[in-house]
Structure 1
Amino acid sequence: MGEIVLYGADWCGDCRRAKAWLREHEVPFTEVDVEHDDAARDRAVEIAGGRRNIPVIVLPDGQVLVEPTNVQLAAAVNG
């Protein structure tokens, strides 16, 4: 499996929860900070179909999750 990309921000509780879940399950991911990078924020909104919610998580197969619960994240990661 390739690497997961998580668009988020430090102040975001759902982002912190998703990152904690990924770390706990030893799932490698790259974090992109949308708070300090306008281009990254615009890309996250584009990926999410215009939604401004975070985290936006892009899986290696191209699947996009927006503000997923831990159950949704587990189902997507574990296939």
Structure 2
Amino acid sequence: MNPTTQTGHASDELVVYGTGWCPDVRRSRAVLDSAGIAYRYIDLEADPTATRLVRRLQKGRRRIPTIVWPDGSHLVEPTDGELQARLDQP
């Protein structure tokens, strides 16, 4: 099961989970924006259901950003290089 469906959000889109105050979240969003990648942003401080999803994906932790692809794969706190490498995959 694709984990994004558990939050009630569409499963056919890239989803970025984070907070507005986190510089790593802003950095990852900037990478996605500059690459023209469409995504849905979920603020964990405003969405307890999404926070529970992130904690499940990370076995109890809540590191951000957590970026979930439509296929259910995800990255946690990626560097710019790690995020770009994932974006470059076919």
Same fold (TM over 0.5): yes
Deviation readout 1:5-60 (Å, 9 max, x if unpaired): 00000001100000011000000100011012211111111123332110100012
Q: Which runs of 5+ in 2 are unaligned?
A: 1-11
Partner of 2:26: 16
Q: Does 1:63 align with 2:44?
A: no
Larger radius of gyration: 2
Moved more, 12-21 or 38-47: 38-47
Partner of 1:42: 52
SS of corresponding position for 1:40? helix
Give the AA of the match of 1:54: I
Aligned pairs, number: 78
Q: Which runs of 5+ in 1 are unaligned?
A: none
- What is the TM-score normalised by the length of structure 2? 0.80
Which structure features the higher share of strand residues? 1
- What is the TM-score normalised by the length of structure 1? 0.90
**What percentage of residue pairs aligned between the two structures are identical?**
41
Measure how far apart 1:62 and its partner are: 1.8
Give the AA of the match of 2:19: A
Task: Report the Cα distance in structure 1 between the residues aligned to 2:31 and 2:74, rounded to whole angstroms.
Answer: 17
